[in-house]
Chains A and B, each alone.
Chain A
Amino acid sequence: MCESCGCAVTARHAHPHPGHAEPGSGQAVAVMAGLLALNDAEAAHNRAHFDAHRLLVVNLMSSPGAGKTALLEATITAIGGGVRIGVIEGDLETENDAARIRAKGVPAVQITTGTACHLDARMVHEALHGLDLGGLDILFIENVGNLVCPAAFDLGQHRNVTLLSVTEGDDKPAKYPVIFRAADLVVLSKTDLLAVIDDFDPGRAEAAVRNLATAAPVIRVSARRPGGLQPWLDWLTAELARVRAATPGRASERALAAEYGR
C-alpha cells in the first residue's frame, strides 16, 4: 500500500518548533511540544490509510490472559464471512496468536516487540504492509497484554476497547485508571465464570469505570457460551456504521499519495 503513498513516515508534521534564543549562553528555549508528537503524527498517518479504506480499526487492550485472542476467535466464527476481518497481533515473543487467528481463515500479522511493553504507531504502520486493507471491513489491533503502557500510544485506531476478565479484581478500573479512561467500550470477559467466582461484582466494576467520569458502555461477554457475544457484535456493527458515515470514501490512496508524497 505504501508504494502509492511514499510513506517515509511523515516526520515533517512532527518536528517541534524551536523557540527563538539569542546567541549567548544558558539560553532557555520555550518548546511546549507534546512528548509523543512523533508517534501522534505517525498515528494520524495510519488513520488516514484506514479512512481511505473506510475501515473500522479497534485497539484491544487488557492485562495478559484476559481473553483478547479468544474473543477475536469467537468473533470471527460468529461473524462468518459477512464482515471481512483482519488482525494485527502484538506480543513480546512468538507467532502463536497470529497462528490462532490465521487458523480461523482470517489474515493476521504478528508484531513481536522483543522487550517493548506496548505497540506504537510505527510498529503498526510496518505491520500494515503485510495486510490488504482494501479487503477488510474491521481491523483489530490486539495490543501487548499490559494495563499501563499501551494507553499512552495512539496507533491510529478509531476505538479503544479495554477488556476486564471476571477472574481479575472488579477494582481494576480504580487501580489502572488511565487505560480504562481511554476506553470507548469496556468488555467484561469470561462472564460464564461468574457462576463460580463469587468475589467479582460486575456492578462494582461498572461503578469503578463510572468514577473515571466516562460514559463508555460496560458490556458482559462470554466467548464460550452461545449468544454470549451478542452485545459485542451489536457494538461492532454500530461502530462500523458510525465510522463509515464519518468517512464517506472521498479520500483515496491516491489522495494520500499527494498529501504525504515525497
Chain B
Amino acid sequence: MHEFSLCEALLRQVEAIAAAHRAQRVTMIRLRVGPLAGVEAALLERAFTLTRAGGVAEAAELVIVTAPIAIACRACGATAEVAANRLCCPACGGIDVRVTAGEELILESVELDIADDGAPAAAERKADCHV
C-alpha cells in the first residue's frame, strides 16, 4: 500500500506547479500509470481522496490513464502487446525484448484556475473551467 507515499509525492509536485502559476486551485490532475509501475489505480484514487484534503488540489479530479504493456523484440523485430508476467517475445520466444510501454508512472498534466495578476479568479471564469 505505497499508494499513499505516491500521493504525497504527487501532491508536492502539483502544489509546486500551482504555486509557480499562482493558481487559485487545481481542477484536474492527469496521470499515466502503466501495469508494470507496481501501482494499483483504484488504491491510488482512494489514497488521493484522503491526501488531497485541505490543499490546493482539494477539489481536483484525478484522471488515471492506463496503457497496455508493449514490447519490441531485439532478436526478431516483432512488436506485441503482452501480459505483465509474459514479457518474452510471443513470436520467437526470446527474452531480449525492450518494454516500450507499460512502465510509466508520470504526472502528465494539471488543470489550474489561474487568476490574472495573482488576483482571485472571477466567478464566471471559474465556471468555464470544468472539463
Contacts and interface: CB of A to CB of B under 8 A. Distances in A.
Interface of A: 15-16, 18-19, 21, 23-39, 116-118, 120, 148-149, 151-153, 173-175, 177-179, 181, 208, 210-215
A62 to B, nearest CB: 15
B77 to A, nearest CB: 15
A210 B86 CA distance: 9
Interface in B80-96: 84-89, 95-96
Nearest to A174: B85
Contacts of A29: 17, 21, 109-112
Contact of B106 (A35, A149, A181, A212): A35
By secondary structure, the B interface counts as mixed
A210 B131 contact: no
Contact of B39 (A23, A120, A152, A212): A152
B114 A21 contact: yes
A59 to B, nearest CB: 15
Given A25-B126, A25-B128, A25-B129, A37 B21 contact: no
Nearest to B116: A23
A33 B114 contact: no
A38 B9 CA distance: 7
B100 interface: no
B36 A31 contact: no
Interface of B: 1-2, 5-6, 9-10, 12-13, 16-17, 20-21, 27-28, 31, 36-39, 71, 84-89, 95-97, 99, 105-117, 121-122, 125-126, 128-131
Contact of A35 (B89, B96, B105): B105
A28 B85 contact: no
A26 B130 contact: yes
Contact of A26 (B27, B39, B106): B27
B13 A33 contact: yes
Which 6 A-B pairs rank lowest in CB-CB distance, beginning with the nearest?
A26-B129, A149-B2, A213-B87, A25-B125, A178-B38, A177-B85
Given A21-B112, A27-B112, A35 B9 contact: yes
A24 B125 contact: yes
B110 A33 contact: no
B26 to A, nearest CB: 10
A33 B112 contact: no
A36 B122 CA distance: 35
A211 to B, nearest CB: 5
Contact of B115 (A23, A31, A179): A23
21 contacts: A16-B13, A16-B16, A23-B114, A25-B113, A25-B125, A26-B113, A28-B28, A31-B110, A32-B109, A35-B6, A35-B9, A38-B13, A118-B2, A118-B5, A120-B5, A148-B2, A152-B39, A178-B37, A210-B88, A213-B89, A213-B96
Contacts of B130: 26
Of residues A25, A32, A173, which shows the largest number of chain B Cβ atoms within 10 Å of its Cβ?
A25
